[in-house]
Amino acid sequence: MAAVKVVSLTKEYIDGDHYLKAVDNVSFSIEEGEFVAIVGVSGSGKTTLLNLIGGLERPTHGCVFIHDVDITQLSFEEQTDFRRWHIGFIFQKYNLIPTMNVYENIVLPAKLMKRKVDEKEVFRLVKDLEIQEKLFQMPDALSGGQQQRVAIARAVYTHPTILLGDELTGNLDSRTSASVMKLLKGICSQYQQTLLIVTHDENVAAMADQIICMKDGKVVENGKL
C-alpha cells in the first residue's frame, strides 16, 4: 500500500490580476518506508507541493491520500488532528522552543497529544542521534547540527506515518548535512517511517530511493535510483 498518493494535484493563487499555478496537475505515489527527494530550482513548486501533502495548504483541485485517507476531504479540525497523529515536520530553522531544554522539546508534541512519555524510548532515540549528552541543555547551547537532530527526534518520537522536511539541511555545512541525513535515514528505517524532503543539495538527493524533479509546478522527471 502506498504511504502517499497524489492525484491530479493543482494549487492556484489569484491576487487581483496576478495568477500563479504553483502546482500543476501533479500525480505520483510513494511506497511505505521510501526516502523521496523533491528537487528543482527556486519557484518550481517544491515547497507548495510539500505543504499540500502535509495538509498545511488546501489544493485548488486534486487529492492527497495518506494511507488511503484523502486528507483534502477532511475538515480543518480533522486535518489538524490527522497531522498531529500521522505527519511529522522537520524544518530548516529547527523551530525549537528556546525556553525548553532538549528533552522538553522532544516530548512536547507527545504531551500535546496527551500521550504518556516513555523516557526509555527518548533516551534510546537521542542516543541513536548522538545527542544523548545534550539532553538537558538549552537549544542556544547547541550547534546547528545538534539542533537539527533535536528537531528530528521531536518529529520522529510521536511515530508519524510520514516525515516531511523542507530544506532541513539548508543551514548546515556539507559534512554535518551528510551526517544528519545518514542518521535520519537510519532512524526512519528503524521506525518504519516514510521520508519526503525538499532539497537543493545534490548530495542529499543522491541518498534518496526516488527523486521527483519539478519545473514550473509540474513533475518533469520521477524516477527511482
Output the nine-digit C-alpha cell for 8. Answer: 491530479
CA distance 84 to 82: 5
pLDDT of amino acid 142? 94
Give Cα separations from 166 to 69, 73, 118, 201 (angstroms). 23, 24, 28, 12
Spell out, as residue ranges, where the chain has pLDDT lower than 70.
223-225
CA distance 184 to 124: 14
Nearest to 88 by CA among 199, 162, 169: 162
- pTM comes to 0.89
CA distance 218 to 214: 5
Q: How far apart are the first and last CA of the chain?
A: 20
Give percent of the chain above pLDDT 70.
99
